[in-house]
Amino acid sequence: MKKFFGHVAVIGAFISFSFPVYAHEAHVHGVAQMNLAVEGPEVEIELDSPLGNFISFENQPETDAQKQEVRDMALIMREADKLFTLPPAAGCQLQEVSLESDALSADLLSPAGVRQVAAQNETGDEQAGDGHADLEAKIAFTCRNPEKLNSLTVNMFRAFPNLHEIEVQMVTPTGQKAAELTPESSTIRW
Ligand SMILES: [Zn+2]
């Protein structure tokens, strides 16, 4: 797959409003990819980013300090209604946040570090990797007044200073659009 979606690929990928499970085509430190889908009362955000945009390493955490760094990051991510602002009049409620990374075990990413039975293989394939890892976040809101949904402000840049740019592909009631968010310009409108 090409580094960024071509126009045709975007139409194909979004035709059913379901997110494509795309390959990690772009691992550029400082840059994250985001898919935004607004359909009726549902707002779905899928973020795919180098892990290093959110914490100071991209390998499996070894020290307690590194594990704590992951928990702190997960805590910020789980409060996604602070990271993503929708119009108050739309009456949106955060429904779901799921976090996943090949470098991080599920228990570190889950609320309060609760150990999950299905925690992924902690021995991992560290030596098989290239020293880089991504974080994938899926976030869903449901809104009482979807007709008021016309913008999204992303507040991630202040929370995560290593993040400099988010490349957005969006499907909303007004159509498909691409946008680029930076700390200076962090609102998308449709
Ligand atoms: Zn990397």
pLDDT in tens, 130-146: 789 999 999 999 999 99
Q: Please, what is the Cα angle at 22 between 52 and 36, to 5 degrees?
A: 80
pLDDT, tens digit (0-9, with 9 covering 90-100), for 115-134 = 544 444 444 444 446 789 99
Q: How confident is the model at residue 112 (pLDDT cuts 50, 70, 90)?
A: low
Question: Residue 32 corresponds to which tokens in the numbers above?
Answer: 């994250």
Question: Residue 17 corresponds to which tokens in the numbers above?
Answer: 């409003």
User: Separation of 30 CA from ligand 1 center, angstroms?
Assistant: 9
User: Separation of 147 CA from ligand 1 center, angstroms?
Assistant: 39
- Cβ-count burial of 62 within 10 angstroms (0-12 exposed, 13-18 middle, 19+ buried)? exposed
User: Separation of 77 CA from ligand 1 center, angstroms?
Assistant: 19
pTM assigned to the model? 0.80
Question: Residue 30 corresponds to which tokens in the numbers above?
Answer: 């400082």
Report CA-CA distances (Å) from 2 to 6, 24, 118: 8, 10, 34
Look at 15 and 32; give whichever has higher pLDDT: 32
Kindly give, in sequence order, each residue whose CB lies less than 8 Å from that of residue 85, ignoring residues fewer than 6 positions away.
Answer: 152, 153, 154, 155
Report CA-CA distances (Å) from 102 to 147, 160, 162: 38, 20, 20
Beta-strand pair 165-172/31-39:
parallel
Question: Residue 108 corresponds to which tokens in the numbers above?
Answer: 């570190």
User: Separation of 175 CA from ligand 1 center, angstroms?
Assistant: 33
